Amino acid sequence: MSKIPHILIIYTGGTIGMMKDYKTNALKSFDFKHIYNSIPELNHLDCSLETISFKEPLDSSNVNPRHWEKIAKIIQDNYSKADGFVVLHGSDTMSYTASAISFMIENLDKPVIFTGSQLPIGDLRTDAKENMITAIEIAAVQKDGKPRIAEVCIYFEYKLYRANRTTKISAAQFRAFDSPNFPILAESGVELKFYDNSILVPSKSQNLIFRSIYNFNIILIKLFPGITEIVLRHQLQTPDLQGVILETYGSGNAPTDAWFLNLLQSTLEKGIPVIDITQCVAGSVVLGKYETSVELLNIGLIDGKDITTESAVTKLMYLLSVDEAKGKIKEYFEKSLRGEISEY
């Protein structure tokens, strides 16, 4: 008899395990036992389960790169014994954490599925049960003795997304996430349907590598009509600044005022990379398409193409933390490392 898959659940917090605090009436994280007791169906799944919980489960607004490190370490320490991982996490910053984890693990060949919920597990209308049960089922699916999915994903409201392509789109709908520039990887209906054309194929010959993100001296600047020289100068003169993500308009366009371009140019001359990404939810930066991006291309902005903000932030931190990328941020940023950016 073949062995059933072993799935490790990593509980970090989020609405899924929250209850109302009787003093403040605000939602607060509770321990995993509370979730487990609310889903007796977990005992009937066709896999064995093990759980590791954060000692103090977090609302994901409190999650920072130290917690990404903690999640990656748990995965690393348990990699050989688990067939797949399910990370329970608040939806607010789930796309950031899951994108970061996708960069931190190179040559992953097992599923790491993030999920959570919009309503707590104890709520009658909760979405937590479906999200969690299906995320575990997806993590346990095998084909020819190998995991069906071998990448970092988010499963939410019947859809499986590549994590580093997602963004949180709603605080009200059960469908909290979308992946506007990349198709879904799988869908849950009467059956689980996988879309092979979108799923990453793990490399057989490369070694698994876990890397840390320790350099997060970056800034995310969103342009708006009326942004002044003084505001931008202050932001770009942040002490120890090592990278800039610039959220521009449309297909990567920005003002053509001399003060604006000069500030960007002097930042680049200090060796600080500046990435051009779009504020649009869907579509891509196309440097040089409009007159308002020609100079950005000429002075050497990095082309963020169709990457999400969440992925751009974590990818830049990752590249700034990795020795191999020293002096080559542009080259590494503009190519796909984990399927996070379209190459054209």
- The one segment of 11-19, 69-77, 287-295, 323-331 that binds ligand ASP by CB under 6 A: 11-19
- Tokens at 233, concatenated: 């100068």
The residue within the footprint of ligand ASP, chosen from 5, 17, 65, 116 (CB under 6 A), is: 116
Minimal distance, residue 143 CB to ligand ASP, in Å: 31
Minimal distance, residue 90 CB to ligand ASP, in Å: 2
Residue 91, interface with ligand ASP (CB under 6 A)? yes
Give the Cβ contact number of residue 337 at 10 Å: 16
Q: Which parts of 233-272 interact with ligand ASP (CB under 6 A)? A: none
Minimal distance, residue 53 CB to ligand ASP, in Å: 15
State how far the Cα of 130 lies from the Cα of 116, in Å rounded to an integer: 10
Q: Is residue 4 a contact partner of residue 46, using CB atoms and an 8 Å limit?
A: yes
Which H/E stretch holds residue 311? helix 309-321
Give the Cβ contact number of residue 226 at 10 Å: 6
Residue with tokens 């709908």: 173
State how far the Cα of 118 lies from the Cα of 4, in Å rounded to an integer: 31
HSE, CB side, 13 Å, CA atoms: give it for residue 171.
2
Residue 15, interface with ligand ASP (CB under 6 A)? yes
Which residue lies nearer to ligand ASP by CB, 59 or 334?
Answer: 59
Minimal distance, residue 19 CB to ligand ASP, in Å: 13
Which residue lies nearer to ligand ASP by CB, 89 or 305?
Answer: 89
Q: Which parts of 34-63 interact with ligand ASP (CB under 6 A)? A: 59-61
299 burial class (0-12, 13-18, 19+ CB within 10 angstroms)? middle
Sign of the Cα pseudo-torsion (115, 110, 214, 271, in order): negative
Which residue lies nearer to ligand ASP by CB, 29 or 102?
Answer: 29
Residue 90, interface with ligand ASP (CB under 6 A)? yes
Shortest Cβ contact with ligand ASP: which residue? 90
Residue 167 annotated as catalytic: no
State how far the Cα of 279 lies from the Cα of 289, in Å rounded to an integer: 16
Helical H segments across 105-246, by residue range: 128-140, 229-236
Residue 127, interface with ligand ASP (CB under 6 A)? no
Catalytic one among 15, 134, 166, 267?
Answer: 15
- The one segment of 13-21, 35-43, 67-75, 321-329 that binds ligand ASP by CB under 6 A: 13-21
- The one segment of 75-83, 85-93, 101-109, 313-321 that binds ligand ASP by CB under 6 A: 85-93
Residue 92, interface with ligand ASP (CB under 6 A)? yes
- CA distances (Å), 16 to each of 39, 59, 179, 237, in order? 12, 10, 22, 40
Q: Is residue 185 a contact partner of residue 198, using CB atoms and an 8 Å limit?
A: yes
State how far the Cα of 155 lies from the Cα of 163, in Å rounded to an integer: 9
Minimal distance, residue 12 CB to ligand ASP, in Å: 9
- The one segment of 9-17, 98-106, 195-203, 279-287 that binds ligand ASP by CB under 6 A: 9-17
Chain positions contacting ligand ASP, by CB under 6 A: 13-15, 59-61, 90-92, 116, 118
Active centre residues (catalytic): 15
